[in-house]
Amino acid sequence: MAIGELYDVVFDCPDPAALAEFYRQVVGGEIVDSDSDWFTLATPNGRRVSFQRVDDYTPPRWPGQELPQQIHLDVMVTDLDAAEPLVLAQGATLLRGSDKPVGFRVYADPAGHPFCLVTN
């Protein structure tokens, strides 16, 4: 028996409003909770992702472990080539080395968090 259930995934970032809007554009949904330091995105399938302001935020670096990723999202898409220009237009950056594995590509969101577009 589990102690609890996953309620929210929270990203540290310098600008929670901007990062919440970035992910709203990528995965859909609605901003359901906000103040100047905290924004929560409710996705169409009922999941929550929140974004909290952190002063002096330092983004992770990928690949490598000097500043390792602490969390990332996998976003399921039907066509990587069609989805890539859409996330790039929202402010994502394709990360080097992400073209090696088949079936996913690694990007950084506008705050520098790695995330993946994946296909079955």
pLDDT tens track for 30-66 = 999 899 999 999 999 999 999 999 999 998 887 888 8
The percent of residues in the chain predicted with pLDDT above 70, rounded, is 93
Per CATH, the number for 9-118 is: 3.10.180.10
Q: Tens of pLDDT along 68-108?
A: 777 778 898 988 899 999 999 999 999 976 665 677 888 99
Predicted confidence at residue 98, as pLDDT, reads 64
Q: State the pTM of this model.
A: 0.79
Q: Which of 62, 47, 50, 56 is nearest to 93 (CA)?
A: 62
Q: Which residues contact 16 (CB under 8 A, 6 or more apart)?
A: 34, 37, 38, 39, 51, 52, 53
pLDDT (0 to 100) of residue 61:
82
